[in-house]
A and B are shown apart, each in its own frame.
Chain A
Amino acid sequence: MSELTTFWHLWVCAIVIGSMIACGILLSLTKRGQKHDQETDQTTGHAFDGIEELDNPLPKWWLGMFWATIVFGFVYIGIYGIGDWTGFSDWSSRGQWQKEVDATEEKVAPYFAKLTAMPIEELALSNTQHAELRQQIDGMEEGDAKKALKANFDLRKSAMSTGGRLFASNCSVCHGSTASGSLGFPNLTDQDWLYGGKPEQIRETLLNGRNGAMPANGLKPDMTDQDRADLATYVISLTPNRTDKGNGDAEKGSALYAQACAACHGADAKGNIAVGAPNLTDNIWLYGGSQKQIEFTIKHGRAGVMPPWKEFLGEDKIHVLSAYVYSLSKNKEAE
Chain B
Amino acid sequence: MNQIPVKDVTPKKKPTVDQYQPNSKIYVRAITGFFQKLRTISLWGLMIGYFALPFINWNGHQAVWFDLPTRQFHIFGTTFWPQDFMLLSWLLIICAFGLFTITTLAGRVWCGYTCPQTAWTFLFMWVEEKIEGNRNQRIKLDKAPSSANKVTKKAAKHVIWIFIAFATAVAFVGYFYPIRELLPDMAQFEVSSGWAIFWLGFFTLATYGNAGWMREQVCIYMCPYARFQAVMFDQDTLIVSYDEARGERGSGRGARKKGVDPVEAEIGDCIDCNLCVQVCPTGIDIRDGLQYECIGCALCIDACDSIMDKMDYDRGLIRYTNEHALKGKEVHILRPKLVGYALVLILMIGAFGYTLVDRTPMELDIIRDRGSLYTNSSDGRVQNNYTIKIMNMAQEPHHFTVTVSGLDNSELKGKTNVQLKNGEIGTLTMSLLATPWELKKSRTDLQFSVTRDDGLTLTEESRFIGPAGR
Contacts and interface: CB of A to CB of B under 8 A. Distances in A.
A190 B378 contact: yes
Interface string A186-197: 010010000000
B435 interface: no
Contact of A180 (B367, B375, B415, B427): B375
B369 A172 contact: yes
B376 A183 contact: yes
Interface string B383-399: 10111000000000000
A173 B371 contact: yes
* Interface residue tally on A, bucketed by range: 20 to 34
Given A168-B387, A168-B427, A335-B413, A176 B378 contact: no
Contacts of B367: 177
Interface in A157-185: 161, 164-165, 168, 172-174, 176-183
B387 A177 contact: yes
B430 interface: yes
B444 to A, nearest CB: 19
A283 interface: yes
Nearest to A283: B378
B371 A178 contact: no
B372 interface: yes
A215 to B, nearest CB: 25
**Which secondary structure dominates chain A's binding surface?**
loop
Contacts of A288: 376
A274 to B, nearest CB: 24
Contact of B378 (A165, A179, A187): A187
Nearest to A335: B413
Interface string B352-373: 0000000000000001010110
A177 B376 contact: no
A174 B371 CA distance: 7
Contacts of A116: none
Contacts of B430: 178
A262 interface: no
A164 B418 CA distance: 15
B429 interface: yes
* Interface residue tally on B, bucketed by range: 20 to 34
Contacts of A285: 378
B229 interface: no
B429 A284 contact: no
B458 to A, nearest CB: 21
Nearest to B368: A177
Interface in A136-173: 161, 164-165, 168, 172-173
A283 B377 CA distance: 11
Contacts of B376: 182-183, 288
Given A168-B427, A172-B369, A180 B386 contact: no
Contact of B415 (A127, A161, A172, A181): A127
Which of A176, A284, A288 has the most B CB atoms < 10 Å from its CB?
Answer: A176
Contacts of A164: 427, 429
A127 B340 CA distance: 60
Nearest to B383: A180
A177 B429 contact: yes
Contacts of B429: 164, 168, 177-179
Contacts of A284: 378
A176 B427 contact: no
Contact of A178 (B372, B378, B379, B431): B431
Interface string A114-150: 0000000000000100000000000000000000000
A182 B367 CA distance: 18
Contacts of A181: 375
B414 interface: yes
B431 A180 contact: yes
B385 A180 contact: yes
A335 B372 CA distance: 25
A180 B371 CA distance: 12
A182 B378 contact: no
B427 A182 contact: no
Interface string A264-289: 00000000000000000001110010
Given A168-B427, A173-B371, A174-B371, A180 B377 contact: yes
Interface of A: 127, 161, 164-165, 168, 172-174, 176-183, 187, 190, 283-285, 288, 335
Given A178-B431, A187-B378, 9 more contacts: A168-B427, A168-B429, A176-B385, A177-B385, A178-B414, A179-B429, A182-B371, A183-B372, A283-B379
Q: Return the 10 tightest CB-CB contacts between A and B, nearest first.
A: A182-B375, A178-B385, A177-B429, A178-B429, A177-B387, A176-B385, A178-B431, A127-B415, A177-B385, A182-B372
16 contacts: A164-B429, A168-B427, A172-B369, A172-B371, A172-B387, A174-B371, A178-B369, A178-B414, A178-B429, A179-B429, A182-B372, A187-B378, A283-B379, A288-B376, A335-B413, A335-B415
